[in-house]
Structure 1
Amino acid sequence: MTGKAADQAAGILAVDIGGTGLKCAVIDDHGTMISERERVDTPHPCHPQALLDAYAGMAAKHPAFDRISIGFPGVVRDGKVLTAPNLGTELWEGFALAEAMSARLKAPARLINDAEMQGYGIVSGKGLEMVLTLGTGAGTALFRNGELMPHMELAHHPVHDNLTYDEYLGVAAYEKHGKHHWNKHVARVIELLYVLLHYDHLYLGGGNAKHVEIELPANVSLADNDAGLTGGAALWRTR
Structure 2
Amino acid sequence: MSVILGIDIGGSGIKGAPVDTRTGKLAGERWRIPTPEGAAPDDVKQVVAELVAHFGLPGAVGVTFPGIVQRGRTLSAANVHPDWVGLDADALFSEATGHEVHLINDADAAGLAEARFGAGQGVQGTVMVLTFGTGIGSALIHNGVLIPNTELGHLWLRDKHAESWASDRARELDDLNWKQWSKRASTYLQHLELLFSPDLFIIGGGVSKKADKWQDHLNVERSRVVPATLLNEAGIIGAAMMAAGNAPDLEAQLDSPAPAKETTRKTAGRKPAAGKAAAKKTGKGD
Report the TM range for the smaller structure's normalisation: 0.7 to 0.9
- Which residue of 95, 106, 123 maps to 1:114? 106
Find the residue that maps to 2:25 and give its secondary structure: coil
The aligned residue for residue 5 of structure 1 is: none
Measure the CA separation in 2 of the matches of 1:56 and 1:10.
Answer: 21
Q: Would you say 1:201 and 2:200 are equivalent positions? A: yes
Measure the CA separation in 2 of the matches of 1:185 and 1:46.
Answer: 31
Q: Would you say 1:190 and 2:189 are equivalent positions? A: yes
CA contact (8 A) 2:8 2:239 kept: no
Measure the CA separation in 2 of the matches of 1:132 and 1:168.
Answer: 15
The aligned residue for residue 127 of structure 2 is: 129
CA contact (8 A) 1:86 1:136 kept: no
The aligned residue for residue 149 of structure 1 is: 147
**Shift of residue 141, structure 1, vs aligned partner:** 1.0
Superimposed CA distance per residue, residues 15-50 of structure 1 (whole angstroms, 9 cap, x where no aligned partner): 112233322211123232112223344322111011
Superimposed CA distance per residue, residues 168-201 of structure 1 (whole angstroms, 9 cap, x where no aligned partner): 2345313312351434322322222222211000
Unmatched 5+ residue regions in structure 2? 116-120, 248-286
Q: Provide the TM-score with structure 1 as the length reference.
A: 0.85
Find the residue that maps to 1:16 and give its secondary structure: strand
Aligned length: 229
By relative contact order (CA 8 Å, sep 6+), the higher-ranking structure is 2
Percent of aligned pairs with the same residue?
A: 32
CA contact (8 A) 1:139 1:155 kept: yes
Measure the CA separation in 2 of the matches of 1:93 and 1:222.
Answer: 32
Measure the CA separation in 2 of the matches of 1:130 and 1:86.
Answer: 23
Could you list the structure 1 runs, at least 4 aligned residues long, displaced by more than 6 angstroms after superposition: none
**Shift of residue 10, structure 1, vs aligned partner:** 8.1
CA contact (8 A) 1:20 1:136 kept: no
The aligned residue for residue 271 of structure 2 is: none
Give the letter aligned to residue 186 of structure 1. Answer: A
**Shift of residue 14, structure 1, vs aligned partner:** 0.7
**Shift of residue 83, structure 1, vs aligned partner:** 0.4
Q: Would you say 1:22 and 2:14 are equivalent positions? A: yes
Change (3 A) 1:169 1:18: farther
Superimposed CA distance per residue, residues 73-120 of structure 1 (whole angstroms, 9 cap, x where no aligned partner): 1111110100021114x2210111111111112211111111111111
Measure the CA separation in 2 of the matches of 1:68 and 1:35.
Answer: 15
The aligned residue for residue 226 of structure 2 is: 221
- Which residue of 238, 254, 257 maps to 1:231? 238
Measure the CA separation in 2 of the matches of 1:21 and 1:184.
Answer: 31
The aligned residue for residue 4 of structure 1 is: none
Q: Provide the TM-score with structure 2 as the length reference.
A: 0.72
Give the letter aligned to residue 238 of structure 2. Answer: G
Superimposed CA distance per residue, residues 36-69 of structure 1 (whole angstroms, 9 cap, x where no aligned partner): 2233443221110111122223333335242111
Give the letter aligned to residue 70 of structure 1. Answer: V
Measure the CA separation in 1 of the matches of 2:235 and 2:246.
Answer: 20
